[in-house]
Chain A
């Protein structure tokens, strides 16, 4: 990736405002994410981190501001969500694999059925990605036969198989047993090293420190602090962030 590409803004959020029935959830969010950048969003429960992520691919409607993704305004009424979502991969807390499909069918649904790409080529890509997360042998298993960590790795492969420009991770390790957290985080770290643009919501502080280019700290629907991981963890500027980090020191 050239330096020029690295500085290209992929996702621009201006003055985003989101409310549920009159209750403001996110207010005046301004953020730009560059190509290849890994942004980790931290904050207390219910502060709106996940909602922010879900606004990026239109799972939540926003009431104000604008989101520009890859040069397209996503607040435009005529935005082609189906097309846009194919370029924004998302991984959820509860994996949400389709239980009626095998691992391979889950992974191929996107490229073959939604994107209508060549089956042989998709299959090859899927096999490669499955090998990379160490789950190639489980390609004919049903999700129910897999552990949480395995399911989540499959879910990541499923999103990657659509060749997204950006990946959104919504607390992907929150539902996992502690010993399975690592295998999923390792996959994400590998992705980050390869230059994937990522927006990550997590509660794993060590991981945030290791993977992030920038930390966004959100509290009560507002961005409190944007800093590099080093700055944020060693020397947070806002009182709220200090309080938040103190909780994790036990």
Chain B
């Protein structure tokens, strides 16, 4: 159903009808599956990579300038490639590991490779906001670097880290939609196949509505969590 053969209201009504949702529901499951899995990988790997970048920087707590430059360059290269290209580039990798280059599982590689460097940079930014005095105070107590990271840097930057992660999750959702057009399935795939190629505007609208709701939900959870922590510390 589209606007050329039906009225606007009919399209909207159909967008919330059971026929459309029979197509949309499995797509939601795929999108959520891809997003959650990528989220977990991005959180762990991005956090580690971000901290490594920060700690080994010239003014970091354990400077390793050469190592830092190499890692930084790799991150920059990955960040400069559009997600679309990364998806194509990592398809052979998925084929090697998973055995197929289509379906929600196969695109996880692409999603992780494109989102981890971004989140790492966000982590770097968040932790850099920790006042230098606090780090010095911890150092002056003789705190070992590992504890400095675990006990001071991460907890201190936590509200900011949560906001950064929220941004990353929303970016992940938008990349899953893109991956949809490369055989990953999910809401992006449905929107393109039905909404764009077959002029099924009602399905397109339903996909958009679901995406908007998911993103709003993620943002709300991220904001609330961050605010809760700030409140707990009496910072506002």
Contact = CB atoms under 8 A, between A and B. Distances in A.
Given A98-B152, A100-B155, A113-B147, A85 B233 contact: no
Most-contacted residue by chain B among A83, A114, A155 (CB, 10 A) = A114
Nearest to A93: B133
A100 B144 contact: no
A199 to B, nearest CB: 13
A113 B148 CA distance: 10
A86 B138 CA distance: 10
A96 B141 contact: no
A92 B235 CA distance: 21
Interface string B144-179: 100100011001101000000000000000000000
A144 B233 contact: yes
A110 interface: yes
Interface residues of B, number: 21
B134 interface: yes
Q: Which of A86, A94, A96, A100 has the most CB of B within 10 A?
A: A100
B230 to A, nearest CB: 10
Contact of A85 (B134, B141, B147, B156): B141
Contacts of B147: 113-114
B139 A85 contact: yes
Contacts of A82: 142-144
**Binding site secondary structure of chain B:** helix
Given A110-B141, A114-B147, A142-B234, A92 B156 contact: no
Contacts of A159: 141
Contact of A144 (B136, B137, B158, B234): B234
Contact of A114 (B142, B156, B235): B142
A72 to B, nearest CB: 14
Given A57-B140, A59-B136, A90-B140, A100 B158 contact: yes
A110 B152 CA distance: 12
Contacts of A94: 133
Nearest to B232: A142
Contacts of B158: 100
A12 interface: no
A99 interface: yes
B140 A59 contact: yes
Interface string A122-159: 00000000000000000000101100000000010011
18 contacts: A59-B139, A82-B143, A83-B142, A84-B142, A86-B141, A86-B142, A92-B133, A96-B133, A96-B136, A98-B134, A98-B137, A98-B152, A99-B235, A100-B156, A100-B158, A113-B147, A114-B142, A114-B147
Interface of B: 131, 133-134, 136-144, 147, 151-152, 155-156, 158, 233-235
